[in-house]
Chains A and B, each alone.
Chain A
Amino acid sequence: MKIEERLSLLNYKIDKSYEHITVNPSICETCPDHFCTFACPAKCYSLIDGTLNFKYEDCVECGTCDLACSHGSVAWTNTKGGHGVKYKFG
């Protein structure tokens, strides 16, 4: 099953006014490994024509990317006001 299909099963309350994770494009540009693209279980990180693309909306808030990035690009905070992923089963 494709990851996109699996993610489509999830409920989110997306916070349009606050991106709880941000990346620093100038660091990602010169990154030798882009390990985030392999580590993130929600495929929030992908390489498009060699450029790192990040979207916070699909994030399941595991915190993996923050530990995976060893170059200091990822700034991770908790979602606020009950926003973000809402599991039914967990």
Chain B
Amino acid sequence: MSEFDVIVVGAGPAGASAAIKLASAKVNVLLVDRADPPGSKNVSGGVLWGDSLTQVAPDWEKGPVERYVEAKGVSFLTKDSRISLDFRSKKFGEYKSGYTVLRTKFDAWLAKKAKDSGVMLVSGVTVDKIAMKDGKAVGVEQGGETITSDAVILAEGANSRIAYDSGLKRKPTDRNTALGVKEIIKLPEKTITERFGLTSPKMGFASEFVLGFLEGGVRAGGFLYTNKESLSIGAVISMAELRKNNKTYSFNVIEQFKEHPFVAPLLEGGRVEEYSAHLVPEGGISADSLNGNGYMIAGDAAGFTFSNGLVLQGMNYAIVSGIVAAESFLEKKEKGIQAGANFANYTENLSKTFVMKDMMNFKGIDKLTWSKYVHQTLPSIAEEAMLNMFSENGQPKKHLYKILTKSMSSHEESKLGMAMELLKMLRRM
């Protein structure tokens, strides 16, 4: 007889969602997190597309969310220019939309939800390993002792120490790794609402950036999100490019972003309140198998993040994978579970959700999002085309098509080659 039905490792969105779902079905759950309080080691850019959270925390929108995203932007930055798409819509309300969040606050709230729903929550305790017996996970090892359970849901996040040490996952390559570096910049609520042209103090702006101007050609994406009384700004740096460069300090990339002539004014008067860093899984599923005998892997630990340059998401995938892991346990339990049972049903159930469908449909998109085209060629063509289009030089006007082809021809690549790349890009996105 195991001490717990399920041990969930990691109280982020994946782990907490799994735990709540299980506890509400009267399952005996231990949720363990190495941070004390839970959430105090968790970092993400900060937009929560939390529709799926409704299943486990129906009142999540009344929890510690910051601002509702009514304005979404994407920008290319070159040394001298900012080329942006800025989309604002009253209709966002009709769609499943996002809120900016600060993870230390939000995750602590969600962990408390878990506790209130009957989960045994233990924080400040570090699990060393999954306890294996005859090739089956039978619990977790902590400080030389084994705590037993019928199943383990591993939701430890991107820095998947337990999975590595338990032989469930290999360390990711540079291609599958990006480094996120972030700052919280304090500004008055009113200043944020006015500066970003928001319709009320409850409304927020979230924008992604391609940082096509970085020293030494380092490739990174940027993000800028509005919280109630602060901004979340950060850079997500390609590990492969940082290594190739081997001259740029990761912690200086975000400073280059902040100092950009058309970013700096947005931050003016702000005070840096916190600095943080976190790994970002790239390139999809990172574990050889998402399930095994007695265990399932969910959230960032499984590599469930999505980025196509326009959209950066992770928490929603974490939540859904956590819930599906819980459901897969319940499915097995109904049939009379044995400790260490194989949870192949987790992978099957997950493949019916957008989590796995997105992972499959957008497999290899990281090649595009980190490509030279996206980071250098495209921003510079766009810059030149915009300058030609939006300036007056006493000459007859040209058709947009002519302006574009002229901008393209100043590049070393052939026009046809570039057109093919663009087409490929659009299809992949």
**A residues whose Cβ falls under 8 Å from a Cβ of B:** 1, 3, 6-7, 9-10, 33, 35, 37-43, 60-64, 66-68, 76-82, 84-90
Contacts and interface: CB of A to CB of B under 8 A. Distances in A.
A89 B41 contact: no
Contacts of B161: 63, 76-78
A62 B172 contact: no
B181 A41 contact: yes
A89 B230 contact: yes
A39 B239 contact: yes
9 contacts: A6-B183, A9-B273, A61-B159, A62-B159, A63-B159, A67-B174, A86-B35, A86-B40, A88-B273
A73 to B, nearest CB: 14
Contacts of A87: 40-43, 103-104, 274, 276
Contacts, number: 128
Nearest to B103: A90
Contacts of A9: 272-275
B179 A88 contact: no
Interface of B: 34-36, 39-44, 102-105, 107, 123-126, 158-159, 161, 171-172, 174, 177, 179, 181, 183-184, 230, 239, 242-243, 245-252, 255, 272-279
A39 to B, nearest CB: 6
A62 B278 contact: yes
A39 B179 contact: yes
A7 B390 CA distance: 43
A80 to B, nearest CB: 5
A77 to B, nearest CB: 7
Contacts of A80: 34, 126
Contact of A6 (B104, B172, B243, B272): B272
B277 A81 contact: no
A1 B270 CA distance: 12
A49 B275 CA distance: 28
A78 B34 contact: yes
Nearest to B160: A63
A-B complex: 3 closest residue pairs judged by Cβ atoms: A82-B124, A63-B159, A82-B36
